[in-house]
Structure 1
Amino acid sequence: MKKKSGDFFSALKSIILPESNDQRAANGPVTNNVILKELLDCFDNSCKRESVGKSLLFNMHFLVILHPDVYEERLSSLPIIVKEALKAFYLKLKSYKKNYDELSPVSFHWHFRFAPGTDFNQEKITVEDVRVIGMLTGLKPIGSGGGDRHNTAKVTMKSKATNVFDKMDINLDVLRHLHFAENGTFTVKFNPELNITHVAVTNNATTQITARKADAGLARIEYYTADTSKDAVYIMKDTEIVIARKEPENLGYSNYLLIESGFVSNPHARIRWNEAQRSFQIASFSNNETRVNETVIEKSEAGNPRWFDLRDKSQVLLNGMVTLTFKQL
């Protein structure tokens, strides 16, 4: 049985946020605590909406849009806001952990992107406004092609009419005019121990080389499905991807390699870039066989993956029917 979160999170916010700042008067100033509260509310909503069965799922990507004047005023405080948000996220996850079999983070990193803007989704952004958009995974690049499904994405966002966070569709065109600069973009590695102690939150200006490489692609995966006699190419741009059968519930994820074959499990495997070891790795979650260069990869659970080295030009065989050739870029 899932634990009801309202009482806990209300108490948590009252501890983290001074009472005088937690309830902002109408048309009041956007302070650091106001931005933090919006992030906490968005995250809390995602835990309730995304979790399934005994698996705790939650948003790990957040876009925060502020009026340009507020953005400039708060820019130097953004790393602290991110760190305080992560502290609160981990406290919440710790409280939920005993009620679930496993945490199911959909990424190895938290992502926070702040941007200045004067309008969003046909609404004006004033100096009193904060717009927080939460996602399980990041948005696909605008105009990336067929997988965009009419160029929209499902996100967690607060409706101006109801003033509560909800799941809704947004047209990606509304993001075209926003500039997510590197000094307002933060990436922090997810800590499975749910602790941010000793973690320095810095912006992404120090990781420009990695970002440029990711834009071009980390790896090229050529795959062939024997049952349909189809072949295709997938460019791996995320530091971790999921290989899964093409099903409607998977279409909204930007880091999924979806294969239209009954011989592929859902999910079947993950491939990741291990920054510490500077190497690619693979984990299998299928009851059906997964081979890498004729070596059978032992199955592991999604919440506790066992990783195996995936070398350049390796051949991966899924269930004896789908062949993938992995090439580093």
Structure 2
Amino acid sequence: MTFLDRLKKALLPIDTAAPAPDVTNTRLMNELLACFDASVQQESVGSSLLFNMHYLIILHPDTYNARLSSLPVVVKETVKAFYKRLSELRNQYEEISPVSANWQFKFGPGVSFNNETIEPNDILVIGTLTGVKEGGYQQNTKATVKPKRTNVFDRMDINLDTLRHIDFNESGSFTVKFNADLQLGSESQPRHKEAGLARISYHLPEQDTDEQFTMQVREIVIARKEPENMSYSNYLLIDSLYVSNPHARIRYHESTRQFQIASFSRNETRVNERIIPRSDLTDPQWLELPNQAQILLNGFITLHFDGE
């Protein structure tokens, strides 16, 4: 050690900061619970108890892979902790007001968010009341987030373009039905989102391959597989020149509890041999889509629709 090194060591304070704790299942649950608690303070109004029900959790890729197999248990224990907290708060409010029928958790790997680096020991939780719009992200949304610079959960605008590089795939996505009895019943066990709302299978004659798509959100777009569509998670992309771009949309209508379809293609779209009229992109004409329906695109590609 040189004279200058010894002088520097003597003059500068020794860094005694504790290392960041490892990401454990308990830490994951506690971060989610802290986000939930912050949302109760920020969202509740008058006699109504409101709280976040949708959560995005971003972990460093190495941490994500290490934790992936235990995530179903983390989700189960987290929802149990949420119910315990709601039971404790029930006497302070006249009404518990869930704004969604389900708790939703999406875990994804990432190395950065909003100009902040995600380190292996970091846990980034983003909580919202009803979730963010899938695909074609809106510019901003209100969310409960704990930035590194403050280390405190707060309600703020986040730009959802910063989520485009995060792969919230099926293996890290879970849904738990909300139970008004505030208990995790057998019917409310976490299930992977791969179960979905509906499944669509089809055959591609050009490649002689069979494909399957899981409808995970309430509305999807059927379109030709093109580079500009690859970033949208709610697109069913079909690698065929016989499919228009876009060709159609399918949605689950919450109030009627029915699936519906609208067609935008100049080429013919049929459902069970019934021709679907072409709509303008800005003014879709929705028609009922029966369960086990056959959808024929341009007289060439047949989709088999299996709604749950």
Q: Indicate the TM-score class for this superposition, using the shorter chain for normalisation.
A: 0.5 to 0.7
The offset of 1:99, in angstroms, is 2.0
Residue by residue over 1:250-274, the C-alpha shift from the partner in whole angstroms, topping out at 9 and shown as x without a partner, is: xxxxxxxxxxxxxxxxxxxxx263x
Q: Which letter maps to 1:116?
A: P
Answer whether contact 1:36 1:85 (CA < 8 A) is retained.
yes
TM-superposed CA distance for 1:161, in Å, is 1.5
2: distance between equivalents of 1:121 and 1:100? 35
Match of 1:181 among 151, 169, 172: 169
Q: CA shift at 1:128, angstroms?
A: 0.9
Q: Pick the aligned partner of 2:123 from 122, 130, 133.
A: 130
Equivalent residue in structure 2 for 1:197, among 185, 190, 210: 185
1:35 match: secondary structure: helix
Q: Residue deviations 1:28-52, cap 9 Å, x none?
A: 2111111111000000000111000
Q: Which of 19, 30, 44 matches 1:26?
A: 19
Query: One-letter code of the match for 1:212?
Result: M
Counterpart of 2:64 in 1: which secondary structure? helix
| Correspondence for 1:61 | 54
Please say if residues 142 and 172 of structure 1, whose CA atoms lie closer than 8 Å, have aligned partners that are also in contact: no
Q: Is the 8 A contact 2:60 2:109 kept in 1?
A: yes
- The 5 A counterparts of 1:64-143 are 64-143=57-136
For 1:1-329, list aligned pairs within 5 A: 26-143=19-136, 148=138, 151-198=139-186, 199-207=188-196, 209=198, 211-212=214-215, 214-216=218-220, 237=251, 240=254, 271=255, 273=257, 327-329=287-289
Q: Give the fraction of aligned pairs with identical amino acids, expressed as a percent.
A: 48
Whether the 8 Å CA contact 1:142–1:173 is kept in 2: the answer is: no
| Cα distance in 2 between the residues matched to 1:47 and 1:56 | 7
1:221-261: per-residue Cα shift (whole Å, max 9, x none)?
xxxxxxxxxxxxxx895664xxxxxxxxxxxxxxxxxxxxx
Rate the CA distance shift 1:239–1:81 in 2: closer, same or farther, 3 A: farther
TM-score, normalised with respect to structure 2: 0.61
Aligned residues of 2:143 and 2:157 also touching (Cα < 8 A): yes
Superposed CA deviations along residues 151-172 of structure 1, whole A, max 9, x for unmatched, are 0111000021221100011111
Shift of residue 215 of structure 1? 3.1
Residue 180 to residue 132, structure 1, CA distance change in 2 (3 Å): same
Name the amino acid aligned to 1:164. Answer: V
Equivalent-residue separation in structure 2 for 1:202 and 1:142 (angstroms): 22
Taking structure 1 as reference, are residues 100 and 32 closer, same or farther at Cα in structure 2, changes over 3 Å only? same
Q: CA deviation at 1:26?
A: 3.4
* Distance in 2, Cα, partners of 1:68 & 1:140: 24
Q: What is the number of equivalent residue pairs in this alignment?
A: 204
- CA deviations on 1:164-205 (whole Å, 9 max, x unpaired) are 100011111100101111010001111111110323222112
Larger radius of gyration: 2
Change (3 A) 1:67 1:208: farther
Amino acid of the structure 2 residue aligned with 1:184: G
Q: Distance in 2 between matches of 1:95 and 1:119?
A: 36
Q: Aligned Cα RMSD in Å?
A: 2.3
Closer, same or farther: CA 141–42 of 1 in aligned 2, 3 Å:
same
Q: 1-side partners of 2:67 and 2:219: how far apart?
A: 28
**Is the partner of 2:19 in helix, strand or coil?**
coil
Distance 1:164 1:204 in 2: 30
